[in-house]
Structure 1
Amino acid sequence: MSSEIPVKQVDPSSDASDNKNKNTGTVELYASRKKIYVKEVKGFFQRIRNVSLTALMGMYFLFVWITVDGEPLILFDLPAREFHLFGATFYPQDFILLSGMLIICAFGLFFITTLFGRVWCGYTCPQTVWTFIFMWVEERIEGGRNKRIKLDKAPRSAEKVAKKSAKHSAWLFIALATGVTFVGYFYPIRELITDLFTLQANGWAYFWVAFFTVATYLNAGWMREQVCLYMCPYARFQSVMFDPNTRIVSYDPNRGEPRGSRKKGVDPAELGLGDCIDCGQCVQVCPTGIDIRDGLQYECIGCALCIDACDEVMDKMNYPRGLIRYTTENELEGKTSKLLRPRTFGYGLVLLLMVAAMAFTIATRVPAQLDVLRDRGALFSYNGDGRIENTYTLKIANMTEVPQTFAISASGLEGMRVLTQDTVTVESGENRSVPTVVDVAPEAISESNTDIVFTLESQSDENLVLETESRFVGPNR
């Protein structure tokens, strides 16, 4: 089967496309990747990115080493089924909180996107962060954009081999540090480092370190924009959240067209030109290789490097800044933009409600859990004292950092007694099942089914009290 789709040429000037087959008039469906040489640029938005990049990388590589009261600041201890987050310990029973946090993240992303487009992609996405680090290393070792192009076209030489080897060695070192750190969030980092180099770590630790090392090296070093264009689903559904009031990186054609080169100091109006001098700097700095002057494209990650590059050119030409800027479709058309509209209000309201609900849930969270299961094998029985017995299983989960000893009691019927053990010790993180028998005098029962309450009181923490309702079954009256 052919991998080509017949197309009609609608723009005679577009025959510069690298994918065009001039003999058949078709475009190849699967074109090989053309390497993008990104030019380094300095400016306001690049400084913002440097701050966010430094903060995010600092948190990623430092948080894994921090401990609070002897416990890691962040550790997902899967074998023990304990999840340590900022001094608190969570267990599988708390997975509802994870669902809530994921929903908050999703609506937070939707809310920000409706306002400012893909700022997440441009400033905080891990793919963007690591790609920019790798690009910075490449720039430092191989030189600027023109030098890298020349180096790649040059025949093999000692200088070329040395620079390429140094670059890939640096990339692999960063990738290895990334892999080790990631695994360190699941395997205490100090133990992991020691076990890795003494060959005492288990096979899975080596596998995951290797996996994330290779993944980081390939994604940030080789694939780069391909991850954003073809692997990330966000690039595809982002347009659903855009509207004419969404503030995105845009080129102002009303001001910039028609394009054309000119000398500094010449009034473009005298030449019948716009402010765009067609220098191509906005294309050379774009990490996905697009021309922002062609309008909004799904490849644009909103990094604003083209804004910094264009502002620098405008400064040199003594033109006003903002030919490329964060703006809205309405503003480009001379209309008024609205910050708050039904979509953003809806996302913001849901986000606020979810954050409030999550904060309340965490603030009122009881670090222990009690479930009561009644023995369904027998409704009731009489014991040697002539009293009526019911049998239960108490399931107790201790989600605190220390062992807890609970006093067991039952109430709801006069003279009710707990015949089995009246105290139980549950270790930290333990889920314990405790068979329990309670009895009551026949004359205290007025109905065949009566609501009762089991109460567990911690002997070391007076604020830790667990109560759960159940049913006590007796003879029909």
Structure 2
Amino acid sequence: MSNQIPVHNVPPSNEGDTVDLYASREKIYTRAFTGVFRNLRIGGGIVLFVLYFGTVWLDWGGHQAVWWNLPERKFYIFGATFWPQDFILLSGILIVAAFGLFFITVFAGRVWCGYTCPQSVWTWVFMWCEKVTEGDRNQRIKLDKAPMSANKLLRKSAKHGLWLVIGLLTGLTFVGYFSPIRELVVDFFTGQADGWAYFWVGFFTLATYGNAGWLREQVCIYMCPYARFQSVMFDKDTLIVSYDPRRGEQRGTRKKDADYKAQGLGDCIDCTLCVQVCPTGIDIRDGLQIECIGCAACIDACDAVMDKMHYPRGLISYTTEHALSGQVPHTWRPRLMGYAVVLLVMIAALTSAFFMRSLVGFDVSKDRMLYRENAEGRIENVYSVKVMNKDQKDHTYVIDATGLPDLKLHARREIRVAAGEIVTMPVELSVDPEQLPSSTNEVHFTLRDAESSDTEVHAKSRFIGPQVR
């Protein structure tokens, strides 16, 4: 018996079956459409635009409501002031956002990408600008093929002008969250702004112009990591945009009132409108694809065709693999429930951490000088006390120190700290040398609110004295 592996001649595949990994991009011309999901996306986009462009102009407590003041390391979010020490809360927010994204992906696929992702929202706005200046799909195709003329130059210039204006507004607004927007706008257009302000506004202007105007679906397909790892979170009960082949096949054209069932045809009339409205240029009838962002544009287009043909809607719909195969879908399954539980726990923990965080920061550092003897013959140590008021109103705090017998604090005990400010002051502690138990001793500082007994924070340091004999 031979141990050799049998060899078979395998003919090479046809040239048309090969895939060119370095194929140049084919420009996508999207068609205008109407529908329920389009209206939902427009409504959500308006809300997001109002939040993004409007919040930066709100004032709260004498300053910009949302302001990341990097030079002073203060971060204002409406009524709360955050400091670098509070950045653990940012980690909590990111964890909540991650599990929220996991939960919604397992439940409804890439609805984040289709409705609320900034890349998608800005791309839809840029596509609208394209339609306004150059016309609908067929007009744009014809315009691009036509030789350069005054009309073509005017339309192209108007489109790119709108893109750049939107990009500039986006860049100015983004930088306005880090530099007060009212001063920034005036200084920017009068040439008085800082060089870094011009750099970052220009950077985000060009990034918006390039991503939403030129790259578009390339960002979703090749640059965004979410498109790559989304598939590991899908299961057969995840809501995805899908075409129903059992109902749609065989495809074919027909007259409106024809008995297409007798012709062996399905409900799909092969109009390709689902392809023409897709922002990533895919054919949803080929099945689930990594390029699909779940925007439901194809659902709106197909439903409109079904209405005209007097067929029931839903040939393309949000559905699940189990539903498509005739099985019973399961809404609540272990993975989804697991993400939901973790998400709720993280939200509860983050909320508790936010409301339980101390609104005063207290830090004590010992001076580099070990010790000295004062005029009374007592051993004295000098400390630098830093008090940080994280609240939105002024407070008066009282300092005290304990830990050694006959310990005296030689400083004003009350400190007035304005809202959102830091006060640093020297504090001297002294002890009778006869009362020192050792050359190195632990002392405790206490800071409490003079107006409220609820606020009390502590800090530890060392008291250094001469060697005890």
> TM-score by structure 1 length?
0.88
Q: Which of 245, 261, 265 is the equivalent residue of 1:269?
A: 261
Q: Which of 389, 392, 414 is the equivalent residue of 1:423?
A: 414
Q: Which residue of 2 aligns with 1:143?
A: 135
Question: 2: CA distance between counterparts of 1:369 and 1:283?
Answer: 58
Q: Secondary structure of 2:167's match?
A: helix
What's the offset of the Cα at 1:385?
Answer: 5.5
Q: Deviations over 1:210-261 (max 9, x none)?
A: 1111111111111111111111111111111111111110111111112111
Question: 2: CA distance between counterparts of 1:462 and 1:191?
Answer: 41
What's the offset of the Cα at 1:437?
Answer: 3.4
Q: Secondary structure of 2:350's match?
A: helix
Q: Which residue of 1 aligns with 2:389?
A: 398
Alpha-carbon distance change, 80 to 450 in structure 1, aligned in 2, over 3 angstroms: closer
What are the equivalent positions in structure 2 for 1:447-466 lying under 5 Å apart? 453-459=444-450, 463-466=454-457
Q: Which residue of 2 aligns with 1:325?
A: 317
Q: Secondary structure of 1:61's match?
A: helix
Question: 2: CA distance between counterparts of 1:323 and 1:185?
Answer: 45
Q: Which residue of 2 aligns with 1:81?
A: 73
Residues 306 and 324 in structure 1, CA contact (< 8 A), matched pair in contact too? yes
Q: Which residue of 2 aligns with 1:120?
A: 112
Structure 1 residue 218 and structure 2 residue 210: aligned? Answer: yes
Q: Which residue of 1 aligns with 2:103?
A: 111
What are the equivalent positions in structure 2 for 1:108-257 lying under 5 Å apart? 108-257=100-249
Structure 1 residue 71 and structure 2 residue 53: aligned? Answer: no
Q: Which residue of 2 aligns with 1:94?
A: 86
What's the offset of the Cα at 1:314?
Answer: 1.0
Alpha-carbon distance change, 9 to 436 in structure 1, aligned in 2, over 3 angstroms: farther
What's the offset of the Cα at 1:393?
Answer: 4.0
Alpha-carbon distance change, 251 to 393 in structure 1, aligned in 2, over 3 angstroms: same
Structure 1 residue 335 and structure 2 residue 334: aligned? Answer: no
Q: Which residue of 2 aligns with 1:47?
A: 39
Structure 1 residue 260 and structure 2 residue 252: aligned? Answer: yes
Question: 1: CA distance between counterparts of 2:343 and 2:70?
Answer: 30
Question: 1: CA distance between counterparts of 2:118 and 2:257?
Answer: 43
Question: 1: CA distance between counterparts of 2:190 and 2:424?
Answer: 40
What's the offset of the Cα at 1:166?
Answer: 1.4
Q: Secondary structure of 2:138's match?
A: helix
Question: 2: CA distance between counterparts of 1:134 and 1:275?
Answer: 34
Alpha-carbon distance change, 466 to 140 in structure 1, aligned in 2, over 3 angstroms: same
Q: Which residue of 1 aligns with 2:336?
A: 344
Q: Which range is displaced more, 299-308 or 213-222?
A: 213-222
Structure 1 residue 411 and structure 2 residue 407: aligned? Answer: no
Alpha-carbon distance change, 349 to 451 in structure 1, aligned in 2, over 3 angstroms: farther
Q: Which runs of 5+ in 2 are unaligned?
A: 1-9
Cα RMSD of the aligned pairs, angstroms, is 2.8
Alpha-carbon distance change, 329 to 235 in structure 1, aligned in 2, over 3 angstroms: same
What's the offset of the Cα at 1:438?
Answer: 2.9
Q: Which residue of 2 aligns with 1:304?
A: 296
Q: Which of 29, 41, 51 is the equivalent residue of 1:37?
A: 29
Instruction: Tell me the amino acid that sits aligned with residue 50 of structure 1.
Output: I
What's the offset of the Cα at 1:195?
Answer: 0.5
> TM-score by structure 2 length?
0.89
Question: 2: CA distance between counterparts of 1:280 and 1:9?
Answer: 32
What's the offset of the Cα at 1:202?
Answer: 0.8
- Calculate percent identity across the aligned residue pairs: 56
Instruction: Tell me the amino acid that sits aligned with residue 395 of structure 1.
Output: K
What's the offset of the Cα at 1:291?
Answer: 0.4
Alpha-carbon distance change, 295 to 9 in structure 1, aligned in 2, over 3 angstroms: farther
What's the offset of the Cα at 1:398?
Answer: 2.7
Question: 2: CA distance between counterparts of 1:9 and 1:70?
Answer: 74
Residues 61 and 392 in structure 2, CA contact (< 8 A), matched pair in contact too? no
Question: 2: CA distance between counterparts of 1:229 and 1:240?
Answer: 16
**When the two structures are aligned, how many residues end up with a matched partner?**
459
Instruction: Tell me the amino acid that sits aligned with residue 399 of structure 2.
Output: I
What's the offset of the Cα at 1:463?
Answer: 4.8
Residues 248 and 315 in structure 2, CA contact (< 8 A), matched pair in contact too? yes
Structure 1 residue 364 and structure 2 residue 356: aligned? Answer: yes
Question: 2: CA distance between counterparts of 1:237 and 1:476?
Answer: 66
Question: 1: CA distance between counterparts of 2:289 and 2:264?
Answer: 28
Question: 1: CA distance between counterparts of 2:138 and 2:121?
Answer: 23
Alpha-carbon distance change, 334 to 445 in structure 1, aligned in 2, over 3 angstroms: farther
Structure 1 residue 282 and structure 2 residue 274: aligned? Answer: yes
Q: Deviations over 1:358-384 (max 9, x none)?
A: 111111222211133457975x88766
What's the offset of the Cα at 1:289?
Answer: 0.1
Instruction: Tell me the amino acid that sits aligned with residue 203 of structure 1.
Output: G
Question: 2: CA distance between counterparts of 1:217 and 1:243?
Answer: 36
Question: 2: CA distance between counterparts of 1:84 and 1:460?
Answer: 24
What's the offset of the Cα at 1:209?
Answer: 1.1
Q: Which residue of 2 aligns with 1:436?
A: 427
Q: Which range is displaced more, 133-142 or 426-435?
A: 426-435
What's the offset of the Cα at 1:419?
Answer: 2.7
Q: Secondary structure of 1:139's match?
A: helix
Alpha-carbon distance change, 447 to 348 in structure 1, aligned in 2, over 3 angstroms: farther
